Structures are given as structure tokens and as C-alpha cells.
Structure 1
């Protein structure tokens, strides 16, 4: 692999390969066998196996209870790049998506037809840069000349580039390897990488035999925040805006539950991730979860006709990625603004 970060696949390649790839993902990973085809009353939802209110919605079947006449499929993804491909292949209606892959998705002459409609969480200590013990690396600048694994086009990739920049390093000063979380763990165990930037739960496995150099919480505090957003397809906005309102209501309910019922939340997250309650509690403690009021505030998503600071964060993310040559050109603020779906906010979250 080139010592500098390779550009992601072109939009043309994504378009030609997306339908087959996304269809395979939906068929192979849907929790209910993929029964999401046919008719307008369906919702195909992409999610990550990552501690959040989204997993509460899934575990407690809040959406299924709120929309009993809909066929709802939950589709598991490992990275934002795969989510973007699935939207290009028209295989998703709603999905979790990191702020960095979202900025990529709305860039270029053929932006992905989706809009950000919710904020799931803000990256904290649940995404971090870890160096292998015995590597002799104790700070970010010590990564010069070393091999680092991270999922390209992800929030971790963005944060890694920001960490390198803050430490005075260029991407060409290290060897970046595009690896999904499970592949990172395997490469780590083989000794193929010296460090990795990734999220939970893989992150905790690396911490057991590594040294944390920085985290998305620290990088965000220094001006480069990353978030897990939720996006909705433009087709769903046109076809069934009521379903979006209901989905946002149950997501807001889940955020409130994280605070009002911490023990129940831990139990649900543990069940979804197949881990102990103690591990689920530790993982949840590393995230930053907003209240529904905060989600629709001027500090984050904003309200109908008045986008919040998230507009600036996402515009800045696009500019940073363009500066790092991860995308050809940054999406303008106007383009990002048009990729917000704020109808009904804040009332729909009550």
C-alpha cells in the first residue's frame, strides 16, 4: 500500500458496484432475514454494533411498536463507507453514519441522495488512537514512519488525520492501511500494524495490549469534533415523512432512557452486543449522548429553517478532508445546508 492515504473509490466505481455490494450486505446482515422488500410501508434501517440509543430502539422494538403496520429491517454495518454504498444502491431508508463519511457523501457532482435528520452521539473516549505495547511509541509524533490501521472514510480516519496534523506530521510521514475493525484486530494480533484508530468494541480489545495516544474527545475539544449522525433517504422524505417523525420520536425516547433508566439501558446494550453488563456499562460511559433538547438546539442540529452549529462542523469536516486530499473538493456550506432535514424540529422530538 502507498505510504500516503489512498483516495477512496471514485463515485463512478461506487455507483457501478454499490447495488450488488449493498444488496449482499442487506441480505446477509438483516436481523430479520431482510424482509424489507415490496410496498411503501417498509423501513430498512442501517445500524452499527456500537453503544448508543439506536441499539435501545432496536432491542426494545420501539419502532416496531410505534409502526405496527410496517415491515422493518435492521441491517448491521461495519463502517460509514459501506453505508454510503448501500444508499447509492437504494438499499436503505435510514441509517447511522459518521460525520466524516457524511461529508464525503454530499461532496462531488453526484452527492448521495440523503439528509442528516438526527444526532445519535458525539464521539468521546469511544474512538481512540492506540499504539501497540513494545512499539516504543508513547505520543502521536512518535508514529513517524510507522504503520497505522483505520477504516478509511470513517470518523476514526478523519480524527487520525487531525491527530497527525496536530502533532506536526503529514499523512505521507506514516503508512496508513485501510482496515475494518475486525481486520484491525487481526492485523494487531499478527503485529502487522504499530497503531490503530478505531471505535468500540474493537477499541477496548486493543487497549488491553496497547497505549492510548489520543482520543476523539481530545481531538474534538481541539476543534475537530466527530459525531454519529442519522440520515434519511430523500426518497423516504418524499414518500413517507410521517415515518421519519415517528422514528425521530423513538430515538429521542431512547436518549431520555439512557439517563432515566441506566440499568435497563446497560442490559439492552449488553444483549445487542453480546457482552457482559459490566462491559456494556463501561462502553456507554465513554460516549457523549445529547438530550433531545440539545439535539435540536442551536449548538447541534438546529430547528426547521435554522441549522445549528452542526452545519459549521460538517462544512469544516469537508474542508479538512479536501485539504488532506481525501476528497476532490469540499462541499460548500450551501450544499451541506441543503443536506439537512429539519422539518418538524424541535416539536417532533417531544
Structure 2
């Protein structure tokens, strides 16, 4: 009887110990979750306002006052950035007009938050300086390099439409900017559809010749996005980001040379390239409007007609009501 009592007490102590450990472990997990919720993961590309905010730490400092720390991740282009948002690796980022169309068609939980004004001079179709290609009509039957699903994808669609060329009457080579630059210089593609600052760099250092930019073809807006869950839980954090982006946009517009000199070592591009980029760049920031969403819907509808996306989408579903 005494032995059973001792055994019962030992067993009770063991259960309590396990329960305590389990409780402690759970508590630690909850604590980690709470800490994780206080981190915002921001995706950015090679060039843009977010680059400056990352480099000068102003956004980190502003969000720290809200109890958030920032984790920054660089992406080669918008499609890759939104893939990361789709799988939950980032909470916020920026891309052009086309990537969110492809991402929404892939059921990414994104929401449009803000956008910059149109910037048609910031993307173009280029050829080597001595290329026999003189205009858009000459692209028929040629091999054109571009980053699939990026803003320049829509520019190519509209440029071919203007020239009376069917989309399947050219050969597309889907390449990220670095690979496309290499293919361009080796003569492996006849033309390259690309955006700034890669466009400016190709003009400055690779003798690229523009045959058409996006003027009268595509608006080439830059958008800022968030995951839906983050946007719904942290509207105040998004407002802080908006304010910081807006302030930085104003500073760059007033100090383009200084901004180019600041960014040059940060992104590994020469000052001349960045000055050219900034002199033709649009500045400003605004909240996404119905008119902007309607413009995005037109892009989505055309991509569906060309079977570039697998299903029709309603862009307005990627907004916060």
C-alpha cells in the first residue's frame, strides 16, 4: 500500500513536470509568435524609393516607434517578389502593373495599397546600336527577351498590337534582367524589353538603342502591395510606410543628383546611369483609386485573351473595402 502511494506520488510529479514543460514550451512558442507578428518583411527590387528607405534606415526608425522591426529582402523583379508574398515570405513590396495580374491569377493574397504616377519613359524596347531593326514593325519574326510577367510584358503586348504583329509572330525569351543583359550583349536576342535602371544602364554602357518606350502604349505605374492579412491587421503600419515613401519621393524629386550619388554604392550602378533614370522618372504617391483599378482590369482582360493567365480575374477583389 505504501509502495503504491509512493508510486502514485512519483507519477503525479512526473505528469506535473511534463505539463509544466509543455506549458513553458507553449508559452515560448506564443512569445515567439508575438515577436514574429512584430516583424514586417519588406520585399524590394534593384531600384526605387524603398532602396533609399532601406539604406538610410528612416523607415526602420519610423516603424520601430510602432513596435515593429523590418526585415528586407531584395528580388530581381516584380514576379519573384509577389511569389514570395504569395507563400507568406514577405508582407509588403512594390512592383509594376503586370506582376499583380499574374499573381492574382495564381490566387496570391495581395491587396493594392498605393501607386506612383505613370512613368512611360521608364521602360522601353531596345536593340543593339547597329541593329537593322529600326521600328516596331521590324520585330516580326524576331527573338525578344523580357522578364515574364513583369511590367514590360504588357508593354510588349501593346507595342506588337500597335505594329499589327500577332503575339505568336515573335519568339519570346523569358529572362530576368541580368540574364537578358548577357543575352543582349552576346546577340542571342534581337531586342530586349526592359525597365529603368537596367534600361538606362544598357543605354549608357551597352550602346542600346531605344526603338519605342511606353509612351501612348502603357502607363508603367509602380504599385505598392501588402498581403491581405497584414493589411487588415496593421493599417496603421501601412500608413507609416505611406508617409515615409511620400517624404522620400519629394526629397528625390528635389535632389536627383544627390539621390543618384547616394544610391550608386548601394545598388552597384554608376551615377550617370542613375541620373539618367531619375531625370525621366515620375514622382509622387497616391492611394489606389477605382480608376486605377479599372486600368488594371483592362490589362488583366487582355492577358486572359492572349492566354497569358489561366483564368479571368476581378482586380477589385484585390483591394481593401
Q: For this structure pair, what is the TM-score category when the shorter chain's length is used for normalisation?
A: 0.7 to 0.9
Q: How big is the shift at 1:171?
A: 1.4
SS in 1 for 2:283: coil
| 1:231-270 alignment runs, 5 A limit | 231-270=225-264
- Aligned partners of 2:196, 2:125: CA distance in 1, in Å? 12
Check if 1:42 corresponds to 2:39: yes
- Is 1:225 equivalent to 2:219 in the alignment? yes
**Which protein has the larger Cα radius of gyration, Structure 1 or Structure 2?**
2
> Residue 123 of structure 2 contacts residue 220 of structure 2 at CA under 8 Å; is this kept in 1?
no
* Alpha-carbon offset, residue 89 of structure 1: 1.3
Residue 329 (structure 1) shift: 3.0
TM-score normalised to the size of structure 1?
A: 0.76
Q: What is the alpha-carbon root mean square deviation over aligned residues? A: 2.1
Tell me the residue number matched to 1:15: none
Partner SS, residue 152 of structure 2: helix
Query: Any idea what the Cα deviations from partners look like across 1:298-345, whole Å, max 9, x if unmatched?
Result: xxx23xxxx3x211110111011112210133323xxx2231247xxx
Q: Could you tell me how far apart the structure 2 residues matched to 1:266 and 1:213 are?
A: 26
| Contact preservation (8 Å) 1:104, 1:153 | yes
Distance 2:34 2:144 in 1: 40
For 1:17-54, what per-residue CA distance to the aligned partner results, in whole angstroms no more than 9, with x for missing partners?
xxxxxxxxxxxxxxxxxxx995211111111112x322
2:150 matched residue in structure 1? 154
Deviation at 1:200, TM superposition (A): 2.3
Instruction: Tell me which residue corresponds to 1:76.
Output: 74
- Residues paired across the two proteins, number: 285
- Matched-pair contact (CA < 8 Å) for 1:44–1:91: yes
Residue 263 of structure 1: CA displacement? 4.2
Q: Is the 8 A contact 1:98 1:154 kept in 2?
A: yes
Q: Which residue matches 1:285? A: 279
Give the SS at the match of 1:329: coil
Alignment map for 1:45-124 (pairs within 5 Å): 45-50=42-47, 52-68=48-64, 69-107=67-105, 111-120=107-116, 122-124=118-120
Q: Which of 128-137 and 117-126 deviates more?
A: 117-126
Aligned equivalent of 2:319: 340
Residue aligning to 1:203: 199
Measure the CA separation in 2 of the matches of 1:277 and 1:148. 28
Aligned-pair CA distance for 1:278: 3.4
Q: TM-score, normalised by structure 2?
A: 0.82
User: 2: CA distance between counterparts of 1:232 and 1:94?
Assistant: 4
177-186 vs 67-76, greater mean Cα deviation? 67-76
* Structure 1 CA distance for aligned equivalents of residues 73 and 46 of structure 2: 10
Further displaced range: 181-190 or 267-276: 267-276
Q: Which has the higher helix share?
A: 2
Which of 287, 299, 305 is the matching residue for 1:323?
A: 305
